[in-house]
Amino acid sequence: MNAPDNVSRRALLTGGLATGLLLAFHLPLRADPNEPVQKDVTDGKFAPNAFIRIDATGRTVLMMPQVEMGQGVYTSISMILAEELDADWDKVEVQHAPPNDKFYANPVFGLQATGGSTSIRAWWMPLRKAGATARAMLIQAAASQWGVDAASCTASKGEVAHAASGRKLGYGELALAAQSQTPPKDVAIKDPKNFVLIGQPLKRLDTPDKVNGKALYGIDAILPDMKIAVIANCPVFGGKVGKVDDSAATKIAGVRKVVVLDDAVAVIGDHMWAAKKGLDAVKIEWNEGPNAKISTKDIWQDLRAASEKDGAVAKSTGDIAKALASGDKFEAAYEMPFLAHASMEPVNATVRVTKDSCEIWTGTQIMTRVQSEAAKAAGVAVDKVIVNQHLLGGGFGRKLEPDMVVAAVRIAKQVDYPVKVIWTREEDIQHDVYRPVYRDQITASLVDGKVAAWKYKVAGSAVIARWLPPAFQKGIDIDAIDAAVDAPYDFANFHVEYVRVEPPAVPTGFWRGVGPNNNVFAIECAMDELARKAGKDPVEFRRSMLTKNPRALAVLNLVAEKSGWGQPLPPRVGRGVCLQPSFASFLATVVEAEIDDSGEIALRRVTSVVDTGIAVNPDTVKAQIEGGLVFGLTAALYGEITIDNGRVQQSNFHDYRMMRINETPKIEVTVVKSGESPGGIGEAGVNAGPPALRNAIYAATGVVLRRLPIDRKLLAVGKKA
């Protein structure tokens, strides 16, 4: 079901773009010494490609084309490179790659972006080849020094050895000689059975500095003469600044300057407290503009109406019209709210602008776009913009957008010192780029206890059309239908449509779990309702339609066993299952939940089994599923952004709630052994939580929930949905 190496998402193939995007990428075998971003780091070192630097002491620096936002990718990418390089793992250091699409573009997107659970899938083969190429050149260097055949030499832990003569040379000693070797044309990569690092639960490289306050996130940047700014964006989407009275603000000690932009006001101070107090003291009249009356109530009304229209057909097999005309018919619509990202590190950027340059300190998921957008805002050439990448205190898709950097550039342009622009949590939540509202309709028919026809229509915003325009073709958002077209079951008559519906003025973007969030929820809720209609157990019902999908069947069977599926439970306690093939990984999850008489929900236990192909670092895979489940369950229990009078109504963690440790159940994740190419893992767990919990509630109470977040009022004893 996947393209070679799982690089191209099925959806990209559907869009007819994968080939072009993939061809746009090539692995640079040797860094061009004239390339400015490369020169200073390659001098006097073995630099066989854009990813590996070995100096004469054997110090091995690996350049990270993907950003670290908690998903463990600095470690996993290093493991892939070090495996094929046969580096000494204890000597490996990582450094963030500079913005450069030529060297570091993510092969899936054609730009240097981290998202969509693509890092390992996209870089698996390119990085293995990069590591193997370097190893081959080091071996050649040693062989020629010893006057022996390279084939008689081996490499291990940062050394080349010639067994016949007992000679050994470290990579540091070989670095200069290796630099002048010709890279092999078709380099051999390892047979996975010979992996020594890949597949091991190695300790993460980034965590030791995260227990003692040393790790630097974007918000921790400190520069000489730097000041701090706090921003107030117009509270109404698309509104502008009207009148500003800053007379009280400028009297506050520590306030340096009030900056008035066309759509925002910022106060710069000696420290955050002065800036914040200053901003509180500025009297701003906003020109609210045409969106002053928009509300989620109206947005939902429009979405419901628009979703009734026929959509663009993303996939169709069999004869859907004929198949739907017979059998036992089922129809349902599932609705998902706007969501904010709320990464723990609030949105921020530090910028210094001069007449002809711009320097940025931030943690971003999209380095080259930050660079090009900052250049436009600063009015300088792209190559005059330096981006200093930092660790991200969570990304979740929010930092796939450059808006916070652009805002900081516009503020920093007004002063002659560097400014760190920090968004308060309130600004962060009220001026996010939101996970769109979706309405997913499923029409199906049952014949002999199985699904004979499945028609699935997704309606919602096309994030792809804005974020990666070339990938938006034939009216289909390939992300919004990603898991819809990949439903794992044997549906002979299968039809998927997409209706693009853009909410007025509300910016929409990627949110951890991306398109499959809406798809997996709708599919897995519908499957439970269909199972009940067919009079079958939900696991048994799914099993009967997995004859062509052995990997999906295997994780489902194992999760049933590990979760105690089918064993008796007390009243108002239920188990719910979710099965999904998404991001080229297979995940089966069972949530066990108890619903008290008032409708309050207690999570008792979560069990997941994942087949992600070769797990580069199985402990990281486990951690990503654990965390993803909490992220998704948080959304199911609490997540909803609402809008009234053009304004977001939530503002901080008291009204945009997160799950806490006291609400977190035991979570057991099993990573199955597999020899398949690695799948994506950062988002899969997010998709699993909401449908599995909803199905547990369905089992416990019989209440049919078709809308997120879960409405407790419908679950109180005596209520019917």
Q: How far is the CB of 211 from other proteins (least distance, A)?
A: 4
Residue 128 or 399: the one with the smaller Cβ distance to other proteins is 399
- Three-point CA angle 609, 612, 617, nearest 5°: 100
Q: Is 648 in the site for other proteins (CB under 8 A)?
A: no
Query: Closest Cα to residue 169, out of 182, 180, 156, 181?
Result: 156
Q: Is 69 in the site for other proteins (CB under 8 A)?
A: yes
Query: Closest Cα to residue 689, out of 576, 526, 530?
Result: 576
Q: For the segment 91-120, give every residue that binds other proteins (CB under 8 A).
A: 93-96
Which ranges constitute the DSSP H helices of 566-668? Answer: 618-638
Q: Is 151 in the site for other proteins (CB under 8 A)?
A: no
Under 8 Å CB-to-CB from 341, ≥6 apart: which residues? 394, 396, 397, 398, 432, 435, 511, 512
Q: Is 216 in the site for other proteins (CB under 8 A)?
A: yes
- Three-point CA angle 195, 201, 205, nearest 5°: 100
Residue of the chain from 111, 155, 228, 419 that contacts other proteins (CB under 8 A): 228
Q: Is 203 in the site for other proteins (CB under 8 A)?
A: yes
Residue 298 or 619: the one with the smaller Cβ distance to other proteins is 619
Residue 9 or 398: the one with the smaller Cβ distance to other proteins is 398
Query: Closest Cα to residue 452, out of 460, 464, 444?
Result: 444
Residue 196 or 222: the one with the smaller Cβ distance to other proteins is 222
Structure tokens at 51: 């990813």
Q: How far is the CB of 417 from other proteins (least distance, A)?
A: 10
Residue of the chain from 42, 133, 343, 563 that contacts other proteins (CB under 8 A): 343
Query: Closest Cα to residue 411, out of 252, 282, 257, 234?
Result: 257
Which residue stretch of 4-12, 107-115, 155-163, 627-635 sits at the interface with other proteins (rule: CB under 8 A)? 627-635
Q: Is 89 in the site for other proteins (CB under 8 A)?
A: no
From CA 256, how far away is CA 330, in angstroms rounded? 64
Q: Is 72 in the site for other proteins (CB under 8 A)?
A: yes
Q: How far is the CB of 405 from other proteins (least distance, A)?
A: 18
Q: How far is the CB of 412 from other proteins (least distance, A)?
A: 16
Residue 212 or 567: the one with the smaller Cβ distance to other proteins is 212
From CA 195, how far away is CA 618, in angstroms rounded? 14
Q: For the segment 524-583, give every residue that binds other proteins (CB under 8 A).
A: none
Strands laid side by side in the 227-233 sheet? 255-260, 264-269, 227-233, 419-422, 348-353, 358-362, 385-389
φ and ψ of 498, to 5 deg: -135, 130
By DSSP bridging, strand 159-162 and strand 167-170 are antiparallel
Q: Is 48 in the site for other proteins (CB under 8 A)?
A: no
Which residue stretch of 99-107, 177-185, 249-257, 551-559 sits at the interface with other proteins (rule: CB under 8 A)? 249-257
Q: For the segment 415-444, give every residue that binds other proteins (CB under 8 A).
A: 422, 424-425
Token pair 């048994």 is found at 540
Q: For the segment 297-336, give every residue that binds other proteins (CB under 8 A).
A: none
The helix/strand/coil state of 634 is: helix
Q: Is 205 in the site for other proteins (CB under 8 A)?
A: yes
Q: How many residues lie near other proteins (CB under 8 A)?
A: 80
By DSSP bridging, strand 240-245 and strand 312-317 are unpaired
Which residue stretch of 192-200, 330-338, 375-383, 384-392 sits at the interface with other proteins (rule: CB under 8 A)? 384-392
Which residue stretch of 177-185, 197-205, 440-448, 556-564 sits at the interface with other proteins (rule: CB under 8 A)? 197-205
Q: Is 513 in the site for other proteins (CB under 8 A)?
A: no
Residue 274 or 421: the one with the smaller Cβ distance to other proteins is 274
Q: For the segment 605-624, give every residue that binds other proteins (CB under 8 A).
A: 619, 623
Residue 155 or 422: the one with the smaller Cβ distance to other proteins is 422
Q: Is 253 in the site for other proteins (CB under 8 A)?
A: yes
- For the chain, the maximum distance between any two Cα atoms, rounded to a whole number of angstroms, is 86
Q: Cis omega before residue 709 (within 30°)?
A: yes
What mask of x and - would describe binding to other proteins in positions 649 to 678, judged by CB under 8 A? ---xxx---xxxxx-x-xx-----------
3-state secondary structure 282-293: CEEEEECHHHCC
Q: Is 24 in the site for other proteins (CB under 8 A)?
A: no
Which ranges constitute the DSSP H helices of 313-452? Answer: 320-325, 367-378, 403-412, 425-430
From CA 302, how far away is CA 296, in angstroms rounded? 10
Residue of the chain from 196, 248, 305, 344 that contacts other proteins (CB under 8 A): 344
Residue 259 or 530: the one with the smaller Cβ distance to other proteins is 259
